[in-house]
Each structure stands twice: as structure tokens, then as C-alpha cells.
Structure 1
């Protein structure tokens, strides 16, 4: 039996088709899924995780009164419909939640992982904060009743005064200080020698920010030791990996992932420590 079958790998690798240009102010534009059908990437999806695609489902995202989405804190209403346009009323939990909503700005500088609450008849609500105007990638993940994980991705153009995009460049060091913790990223192959199409083991180590001592124990975060969301600089390649539980423990959390193509990628590791959600970003180059 292949080694990776023994690791309880939870991996989702989802290529996106980039939406070209910007929509009108405050609009949301859908992106169709284009999952791989051959090669290592497809094999991993088939054998280790359900294929993730929209399956004909749609998620309409807007504000309660239909006004454009604007910069700042706002309430979002999400309406889930099936391929026939009918509201979806039944959902099953996926990683302890009925819906995951991941918001990332087009320049990758802003990241949120939210959990809309289901009100019934396919309607969810959540409060989100858009720190500035511009394009945001909205990715919803959910399980309709008797269906596998379904992923719908779309771009939202947030109204407001435009700003210059942040520059996304590979990190020179892979140690970050955040929330009183020192987080180190290493990898096999080495984090400075990542290759497209090759399985990589990403290892996060969390230690006390002052003493450098490893944290004693991380708490489960959304049903696993950690989550890792990865986007390339163009935001058209998306990876959402869950911790490899058989190789994680204590202060260490490991993920397996495949970077679909060459380029610069930003990844966000998410963990829970002493009741707090820890989110730490790194930027890597993939050759």
C-alpha cells in the first residue's frame, strides 16, 4: 500500500480559471471549476479526498438590502441553490461547520476564514470585514445533504477608494512571530527547492515567542490539527489542505500538498492554541 495512504492525508487541490478584468463596482462574478483529470494531482484527489467542484450548485453572495459590497465591516447573505435553481435546505457538517467561507484579497494581503450560520432554505449569514476596496476571491465550501464537499469560487469587487496592490515576493526567512508565538516553516523537499507537480511535506513548528520552547500541545482546529490554504500570486491556483494527523502532534503540524504549477505562492497556516486561532502566512517560490 502506498505510504501516503497510511498518513490519513486530507488534501484538496483545486485549480481555478482566473477571471480577467474587474466587474462593476460591488459585483460578484462566478468562476467555473476545472479539476485535473490525469496525473498525480488527479490520483491524489480520487484516493485521498473527494473531488471538489461546484457540482452545479451556485452561491449568490450579497448584502441584506442588495446594496453594493463596500469596504469596512458588512453583513453578507449567501443563498445556495442547486443545478435547477432550487434552494438547498439540507447540509452536513464539513470539518465541524456547515459552511466555510474563505475571503482573500486579489493581492493576497488580506485573508479571512469565516463560518456563515445557516438560517434555513439555503440562506446563510455572516459578518465580514473588507479592509479596503478592490477584488476579493470568495470561496465557499459545504456539503449538501447526501453529496460530497462542494466548492464554489467567485470574485467580488468591493466598492470604495482604490489602493495600490501589495507586492507578493517570496520570503527570505521562514520564521514568523505572531500572537506571542514563533512559527517556523520547513519542508521536504526544502522550502527553498519546491517543485511544481511534486508532493511536498510542509511542517509548521510552533514555539513560545520569548523562550523558544515548543508549545506543549495544540488544540483541534475545525476537526483537525490545522488547516493550510494556499494561493498562487495570480490567485488562479487554490489548495486547501488539512493536517496529516498521523504525522502531527505536540507543537508540530504537517501538511501534504502539491503545487499545481510554477510560480510564487502564499500560504496561510491556521492552528488553535489556548483557545485562540493562530493564522500565520508565508510566501514561497515554486520552480
Structure 2
């Protein structure tokens, strides 16, 4: 067994012990009052973005056409304004990009992760063709200069034919095939014991669909992978980055905390062979 694989298995066992309360140490420490400064618990407390605020910033969206229609591509202009209504002129990179734009249909059947181009003076631009008519959620994620990650959410109505809304049903199978890759999802705690407010570990394993051999994934936007998560009403939003030290080769691990109970859809995004693969799963949180 390789060193990396052994390290991953050991870390997985440690995390499972922590989450399920199997530690034999009788001392109980509140990590929110006394946060750890090193070790596994310190690592787990990092990089958890749960419903980040807009921090008083706004994003005004304008289209190149009088109305947005699913039949034609549209140019979207996004103007980032501060709390005084003035254009924001300086931004810091967040995972190699100045802005991430998530576009999701109201029934969560359609998902896109875009990166608008910065034009200066707080203006970003991107071309996009909506897949069908209906309501779409636009989630703009950016870092104003000297500020933390900021998220602004708004709905846009798109003209055109609308398919029947898909009902969000929890996946019973943990395996699927996407883009020539077989994908398996392991969770700790498992699906039956996944609860709001507790640390959850999500591990994706990728193998070649034809040879069934493990693949070596490529870095994507500065990390091993990204995972966007929304609940069925789209009012709970999480954007999680891969746990770098616990992701290697064919494995990508994410850790997060679901803010409330309910049904969630997640989209894991990884890169292989120069192509970004999006892997959707629907899970239920108690």
C-alpha cells in the first residue's frame, strides 16, 4: 500500500472517530471557545464558507438585450458597488479569479460556474446562454480590496420554454459516471447520520470508466477541487474548497458544516485531461 493512500486512510479513520464521538479521551474541549492552533481539529476549522455575507456590497446586473431569452446568448455586465453605491475599483484574487459567478436554475437542475472578465472601475463582463426559460439564481463571489470573501445573490427571470421542474430527491446510489470517469462518494458521518451543525467529510474517488484504474486529477482553480452546495430553496449556500493535505491522486476530500436540516444538492468540480467535470449529488441532512 502506497504512503499517500495509507496517510489518507489513517486521516479518514481519525476524522470518523472525531465525528462519531469515539475518542477515548475523557476531556471535552469546546473548539469554538478554545480553538485549536494545530493538528487535525485546527485543519477542520479552516476554509469553511457557510452563507458568507454580502458585507454591504451589491452587484447590479445588466444585459445586452432588452430581455434575457434562453434562445440566444446574452452578455451580462456586473457592476460591483459598495455600501455607498460607488463602484469598487480594487479586488483581490479568490482561488485564482477576481470573480466567481454561479448560475443555477430554481429547481437546481442546471448549474454553471463562470468567471467574468474584469473591465475595470468595478465592472465585470461575461457571455452566457441560459439553457431554458425560468428563474435563475446568480451568485457573485468576490473579494473587494482588503475585505474578505463577499457573496451577493439575486434572481433573474429568463424568457423561453421552461421544462417541468425537477423534484429534488436524495440519491440512493453513491456511484455514477461523469465524463468518462466513475465517481464514488463516501461521507462521514454516513448519509443516515448526516446532521446540521456538525463537521461532515465528503470524499470523492475517481477511476477510469473503461479501465477502472485510479486516475490522477489535475489542480483546478488553485486547489484539488471545488464543491458548491445549495439547499432546495437556494437560501443556504456553501462553496467549499478541497482539503489539500487530504486529497491526492484519485481522491478529493471536502469538509464543511451544513447550516440547517433539509435536502441539499452539491456539485463537485474537478479537472482531468484538461476538462472540468461537474459531479452532482443530492443528499438529505437531518
TM beyond 0.5? yes
**1:191/1:9 Cα in 2 relative to 1: closer, same or farther (>3 Å)?**
farther
Aligned mates of 2:129, 2:248 — CA distance in 1:
33
Q: TM-score, normalised by structure 1?
A: 0.83
- How many residues end up aligned between the 2 structures? 248
Higher relative contact order (CA 8 A, sep 6+): 1
Contact 2:92 2:145 in 1 (8 A): yes
Alignment of 1:206-221 (within 5 A): 206-215=206-215, 217-221=216-220
Relative to the length of structure 2, the TM-score reads 0.83
User: What residue ranges of structure 1 are gaps of 5+ in the alignment?
Assistant: 15-51
Structure 2, unmatched stretches of 5+, are 1-35
Question: Aligned with 1:94: secondary structure?
Answer: coil
- CA-to-aligned-CA distance 1:7-43 (integer Å, 9 cap, x gap): 58422111xxxxxxxxxxxxxxxxxxxxxxxxxxxxx
State the match for 1:234 in structure 2: 233
Instruction: Give the RMSD, CA atoms, in angstroms.
Output: 1.4
What is the aligned partner in structure 2 of residue 250 from structure 1?
A: 249
> Aligned pair 1:11/2:31, yes or no?
no
Does the 8 Å contact 2:134/2:159 carry over to 1? yes
Q: Distance in 1 between matches of 2:280 and 2:261?
A: 19
- The residue that corresponds to 1:166 in the other structure is 166
| Cα drift, residue 118 of structure 1 | 0.5
Report the equivalent of 1:187: 187
1:157 aligns with 2:194: no
Tell me the alpha carbon deviations over residues 21-69 of structure 1, each in whole angstroms, 9 at most, x when there is no partner: xxxxxxxxxxxxxxxxxxxxxxxxxxxxxxx31111110112135x122
Give, in angstroms, the shift of residue 231 of structure 1.
0.8
SS at match of 1:6: helix
Aligned ranges for residues 106-125 of structure 1 at < 5 Å? 106-125=106-125
Assess if the C-alpha contact under 8 Å between 1:9 and 1:242 holds in 2.
Answer: no
Native 8 Å contact 2:44 2:255 kept in 1: no
Structure 2 counterpart of 1:264: 263
State the Cα distance separating 1:195 from its structure 2 match: 1.1
Structure exhibiting the larger radius of gyration computed from Cα positions? 2
Deviation at 1:129, TM superposition (A): 2.2
| Higher percent of residues as helix | 2
1:1-287 equivalences in 2 (<5 Å)? 1=36, 3-7=40-44, 9-14=46-51, 52-65=52-65, 67-72=66-71, 73-215=73-215, 217-287=216-286
Partner Cα distance (2:192, 2:222) in 1: 30
